[in-house]
């Protein structure tokens, strides 16, 4: 998760879309669906202009899952993931949500006890009818090689997990951590060659500003050194947070939508008529017990408000959203913000760590 840099939008002072008319999911919020985003053949699933505001698009919403079960670094087992999926499928949870995303094949958050994520989550997801966007760490060639070797033992034709893996993402905010796009691109291409017969989508995920400012251009075009060396990547996850922009909750949704529009508009301009599948890879807000960040105040009330204005607006527009994250995670260490101050990251869940929801996760309806 992007957690240490504020990148100001070109225009962040345009109010809160929670006050915009929501009966028309194409024109109500205004900004995302206007201009370039409407003209390109970029893959956004839209509803009819006459459609009413909906209750919840289960098929478009997913959640991020991480891997440790406690502060001692115990790894989640298949049974733990099955319990997660049961909670997400319950009446008190999200009902029809059937998609999650992860960050590594083997998670080394606790190096003394690496967690075999893919080996535990894929059989659990298969048994519970979920699909997984499976992440591969790829900030270095060594890390990528290790992840690829680990996945090669789990994701095989005989395993039967191919239908459970919705996509592979190679790298998670690697460009944000200053990995060069022309270093990352060959790793994505290699994963596509290695696993493309089993997984339809292979791509990457990064912060919105790395797509908007051109840093990710070689990933999109496949062009490094002035010539196209490999096909451009056609599955991209764009992360955007009003919170990490330090925005007051009254302007958080507007900033979030504006950041995504900048990123997606640039991708569309670059991709032209090529079909590119784009999702919002992460967004969210910390609940009670979390840290404030500039004007962004952590509270469960604000988390609920951002979900119902920001996330629900994206879903109404027909855009896939992965909410960060499914459950509070008390094991996580603090992160360092651009100010040098420490930020708590243990209270970002839509659910408490006991797997009960913090608030109603239904989107509002309009009469």
d(CA 43, CA 45): 6
Residue 201 vs residues 193, 222, 243: alpha-carbon distances, Å: 11, 16, 29
Q: Tokens 């879309």 sit at which residue? A: 17
d(CA 100, CA 85): 9
Active-site choice (147, 183, 282, 329): 282
Is 282 a known active-site residue? yes
d(CA 283, CA 293): 15
State the maximum Cα–Cα separation within the chain, in Å, rounded to a whole number: 56
Q: Residues 6 or more apart from 111 whose CB is under 8 A from it?
A: none
DSSP 285: -
d(CA 33, CA 39): 9
Q: Tokens 């060594």 sit at which residue? A: 142
Residue 273 CB coordination number (10 Å): 8
Closest CA to 166 of 197, 133, 203: 133
Residue 196 CB coordination number (10 Å): 13
Is 112 a known active-site residue? no
- Residues with active-site annotation: 173, 282
């Amino acid at each position: 998760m992007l957690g240490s840099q504020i990148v100001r939008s070109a225009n962040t002072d345009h109010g809160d879309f929670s006050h915009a008319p929501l009966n028309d999911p194409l024109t109500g919020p205004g900004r995302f669906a206007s201009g370039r985003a409407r003209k390109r053949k970029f893959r956004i699933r839209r509803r009819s202009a006459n459609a009413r505001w909906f209750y919840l698009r289960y098929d478009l919403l997913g959640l991020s899952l991480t891997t440790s079960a406690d502060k001692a670094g115990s790894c989640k087992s298949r049974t733990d993931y099955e319990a997660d999926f049961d909670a997400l499928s319950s009446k008190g949870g999200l009902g029809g949500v059937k998609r999650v995303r992860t960050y590594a094949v083997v998670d080394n958050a606790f190096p003394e006890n690496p967690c075999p994520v893919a080996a535990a989550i894929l059989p659990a997801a298969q048994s519970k009818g979920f699909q997984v966007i499976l992440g591969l760490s790829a900030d270095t060639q060594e890390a990528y090689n290790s992840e690829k070797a680990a996945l090669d033992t789990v994701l095989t034709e005989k395993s039967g997990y191919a239908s459970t893996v919705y996509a592979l993402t190679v790298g998670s905010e690697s460009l944000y951590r200053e990995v060069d796009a022309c270093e990352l691109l060959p790793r994505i291409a290699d994963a596509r060659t290695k696993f493309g017969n089993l997984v339809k989508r292979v791509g990457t995920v990064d912060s919105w500003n790395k797509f908007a400012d051109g840093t990710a251009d070689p990933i999109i075009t496949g062009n490094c050194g002035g010539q196209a060396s490999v096909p451009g990547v056609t599955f991209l996850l764009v992360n955007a947070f009003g919170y990490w922009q330090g925005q007051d909750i009254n302007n958080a949704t507007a900033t979030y939508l504006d950041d995504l529009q900048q990123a997606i508009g640039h991708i569309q301009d670059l991709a032209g008529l090529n079909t590119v599948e784009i999702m919002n890879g992460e967004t969210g807000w910390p609940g009670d017990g979390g840290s404030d960040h500039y004007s962004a105040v952590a509270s469960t009330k604000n988390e609920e408000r951002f979900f119902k204005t920001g996330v629900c607006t994206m879903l109404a527009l027909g855009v896939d959203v992965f909410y960060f994250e499914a459950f509070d995670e008390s094991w996580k260490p603090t992160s360092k913000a651009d100010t040098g101050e420490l930020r708590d990251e243990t209270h970002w869940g839509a659910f408490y760590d006991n797997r009960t929801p913090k608030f109603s996760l239904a989107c509002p309806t309009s009469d």
